[in-house]
Amino acid sequence: MITKLEQVIDLVKSKPKKRLVAAFANDAHTIEAVNNAVELEIINAILIGDEYSIRLVCKQLNIDANKFTIINEPDEVKAAANSCNLINQKEADILMKGALSTDKYMRAILNKETGLCPPNGVLTHIAVIENPAYHKLLICSDCAIIPEPDIKQKQVILKHIIKTANAIGIEDPKVAIIAATEQMSVGMNACTDAAILSKMAERGQITGAMIDGPLSIDVSLDLEAAKIKKMTGKVAGDADGMLFPNIESGNVFYKCCTKFNKAEIGAFIAGAKVPCVLSSRGDTSLTKLYSIAIAAAF
């Protein structure tokens, strides 16, 4: 069973290499992460950005720039658009954000003519978290894109959580539908949506996972809390995945894991034509490497 993000790298190494294109890949963390993924034989890489800056960073990091295909495009918006074009031309399998801002990266993906979002598609942020305070990897969504998903969007998010779990070797994952309470409160949309989704799973309308909700965070992750509150389902205290009711709760959980527990993260966008690595410009090269590995496994 995979319990560490570094084990995902070993898993991906056993699969055919993917082709990654990094949009506006001028920064050291992106180049270092891509280089490490190439060295580990996870991917082949195309770097689009200011060629002079890319080669300078490679020189400073003692990286052989010739191991990448480098396409010169000094404009970050055009670099993102060109990266999407390569995906659409089936010349790459994974998109990665470099030194450009998230809003420009997302605009390129969402462009109706040249982007990567299918008609009526639902993009969602998937985070795979290795938290020292938890006994296994935890797949969380949505922490960064959808402000307040409706129940149809939650069904799509659930499918992506399940697919991610399967991709990293977790069959029949246990997924908690998160709310502020594990009690059924009809006045809270998070509770009613969770109850509907759980019933849909029970009746075979959502397959491939054990789904329960509403569940609070403590009941989802702490077996002792689940026992005290007399929650006896298979998900309680042992969740593999968590679907959050809104972006605030997901984002706060995500950042508390990284800031207070020094958790490691791999994150990407699911729902586009290909997995799209979405990490902060301030993220470490290790976080970006793990994100590449998760995207390559998906």
The reported pLDDT for the residue numbered 153 is 97
Q: What is the mean pLDDT of residues 107-123?
A: 94
Are residues 38 and 103 located together in one domain of the fold? yes
Residue 263 has pLDDT above 70, yes or no: yes
The reported pLDDT for the residue numbered 281 is 66
Residue 89 has pLDDT above 90, yes or no: yes
Could you give the CA distance from residue 92 to residue 278 in angstroms, rounded to a whole number?
Answer: 16
Short-list 273, 287, 281, 288, CA closest to 92: 273
Are residues 112 and 10 located together in one domain of the fold? yes
Could you give the CA distance from residue 197 to residue 129 in angstroms, rounded to a whole number?
Answer: 23
Q: CATH number of the domain at 163, please.
A: 3.40.718.10
Short-list 141, 142, 148, 225, CA closest to 182: 225
Are residues 105 and 205 located together in one domain of the fold? no
Are residues 130 and 102 located together in one domain of the fold? no
Are residues 286 and 195 located together in one domain of the fold? no
Confidence of residue 121 (pLDDT cuts 50, 70, 90): very high
Asked if residue 267 is part of any domain, the answer here is no
Residue 173 has pLDDT above 80, yes or no: yes
Q: Are 223 and 237 in contact (CB under 8 A)?
A: yes
Q: What is the mean pLDDT of residues 64-90?
A: 97
Q: CATH number of the domain at 95, please.
A: 3.40.50.10950
Stated pTM of the model: 0.95
Are residues 211 and 249 located together in one domain of the fold? yes
Are residues 70 and 177 located together in one domain of the fold? no
Q: Are 290 and 8 in contact (CB under 8 A)?
A: yes
Asked if residue 28 is part of any domain, the answer here is yes
Asked if residue 265 is part of any domain, the answer here is no
Are residues 288 and 213 located together in one domain of the fold? no
Q: What is the mean pLDDT of residues 175-195?
A: 95
* DSSP β-ladder status, 43-49 and 18-23: parallel
Residue 41 has pLDDT above 90, yes or no: yes
Q: What is the mean pLDDT of residues 84-101?
A: 97
Could you give the CA distance from residue 126 to residue 165 in angstroms, rounded to a whole number?
Answer: 11
Q: Which domain holds residue 250?
A: 124-260
Are residues 256 and 128 located together in one domain of the fold? yes
Could you give the CA distance from residue 258 to residue 143 in angstroms, rounded to a whole number?
Answer: 13
**Rounded percentage of the chain residues whose pLDDT exceeds 70:** 99
The reported pLDDT for the residue numbered 289 is 96
Asked if residue 82 is part of any domain, the answer here is yes
Confidence of residue 280 (pLDDT cuts 50, 70, 90): confident
Asked if residue 75 is part of any domain, the answer here is yes
Q: What is the mean pLDDT of the chain?
A: 96
Q: What is the mean pLDDT of residues 242-252?
A: 97
| Angle separating helix axes 285-297 and 151-167, nearest 10 degrees | 100
Asked if residue 103 is part of any domain, the answer here is yes
Are residues 160 and 237 located together in one domain of the fold? yes
Confidence of residue 1 (pLDDT cuts 50, 70, 90): confident
51: exposed, middle or buried (C-beta count within 10 Å: 0-12, 13-18, 19+)? middle
Asked if residue 43 is part of any domain, the answer here is yes
Q: Are 175 and 218 in contact (CB under 8 A)?
A: no
Residue 54 has pLDDT above 70, yes or no: yes
Are residues 109 and 149 located together in one domain of the fold? no
Could you give the CA distance from residue 51 to residue 73 in angstroms, rounded to a whole number?
Answer: 7
Are residues 178 and 60 located together in one domain of the fold? no
Asked if residue 69 is part of any domain, the answer here is yes
Count the domains in the chain: 2
